[in-house]
Amino acid sequence: MDDAVQRAFRAIRSLEVPDDELSEPFRQAIPIGGVSVSSFGAIGTNETISASDDTASRVDEIQFDLTEGPCWTALRRRAPVLEGDIIRHPNTEWPAFNDAVRGEAVRAVFAFPIVFGPFPLGAVDVYATEPTELDDEQVEFGSALATAMGRRVLRRVVRAVEDEDALLDRNPFSRRVVHQATGVVLAQLDITPDDATLLIQGHAFARRTSMRQVAEEIISGVVRFEQHGGLIEDVR
């Protein structure tokens, strides 16, 4: 086994490596581009735990905002998703993701599901700036490392239940602000929580920005919604 892969396994299993640094050993083991480690799905909150760079973080954020993309497919299938050229050969399952990611320096995306026993927990995403293919050994190592990540992510999910405020506040990629903004919208409008989230999502999509950016503006009062008859308007 490659030395970088062995070091990655040791880092993932070591409690001395902080959660927000978990992307780096994975990036060194499969050195083709940026890496993000995220949790999402039925058990944990949607959050980027670690990202190697701004582009990796942004690709995660796009997928969370749109609830589609390689990480969602990988976790649903519990199998790696390997897209070597998303510009020339876009995956038809992700029309919104394909459109949103065109403005990013991303040509290839690979996602490996994070699971622990019966629990689907998240995914590791790897991107490359040029069309790229992974060989069988890289896919095998990526899958094994993502599986090893399952224990770390499940432990984090359990800690989040026990110490939610402290854990989310420490994470620079936390999407807690989106949940807070949903509560603000609910206070402004007579709609369901799902519709409040959808309203924020639609507002972000229309403005070509992120849900987190819109959420911050809602919380600060820059963006406010009002209901007039059957219409909802944003007031600035």
For 116-150, write each residue's pLDDT tens digit: 877 889 999 999 999 999 999 999 999 999 999 98
Kindly provide the residue ranges of all beta strands, DSSP E only, lying in 44-195, ordered along the sequence.
47-51, 81-83, 108-116, 119-128
Q: Is the confidence at residue 79, as pLDDT, over 60? A: yes
Task: Please check the confidence at residue 166 and state whether its pLDDT lies above 60.
Answer: no
- Calpha distance 98→94 (Å, rounded): 6
What's the pTM?
A: 0.73
At 68, the pLDDT band (50, 70, 90 cuts) reads very high
CA distance 12 to 118: 20
- Mean pLDDT over 78-82 rounds to 96
pLDDT at position 53 over 60: yes
The percent of residues above 90 in pLDDT, for the chain, comes to: 53
Lowest mean pLDDT among 6-10, 140-144, 191-195, 218-222: 191-195
Mean predicted confidence (pLDDT) in 141-168 = 77
Q: What is the pLDDT of residue 221?
A: 84
Average pLDDT, the chain: 86
pLDDT, tens digit, 9 for 90 and up, residues 211-229: 888 888 888 888 888 876 6
The answer to whether the CB of 114 falls within 8 A of the CB of 122 is yes
- Phi then psi for 227, rounded to 5 degrees? -110, 125
Distance between the two ends of the chain, CA-based, in angstroms?
57
